């Protein structure tokens, strides 16, 4: 049973997650085959202050260019 994990900033609606689950399932079956009912997807919502990239938190203002 394939497991797909999606980590993203919080704020997406249930409907957005529902459509994402449909799209990911469809894409997986089209590329890898398998039974759509066996595919599991776990969404993890992460607060921006709990995610860092480029040495700064996601909640930090973007540096001026």
To the query of whether residue 2 is one of the catalytic residues in this protein, the response is yes
* CA distances to 10, 45, 48, 56, 64 from 61, in Å: 17, 20, 11, 9, 9
Which member of 2, 36, 61, 63 is catalytic? 2
- HSE of 36, CA atoms in CB hemisphere, 13 A: 9
Residues serving a catalytic function are 2
């Amino acid at each position: 049973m394939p497991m797909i994990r999606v980590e993203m900033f919080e704020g997406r609606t249930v409907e957005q997650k529902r459509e994402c689950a449909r799209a990911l399932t469809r894409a997986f079956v089209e590329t890898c085959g398998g039974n759509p009912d066996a595919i599991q997807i776990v969404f993890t919502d992460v607060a921006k202050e709990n995610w860092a990239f480029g040495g700064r938190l996601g909640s930090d203002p973007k540096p001026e260019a």
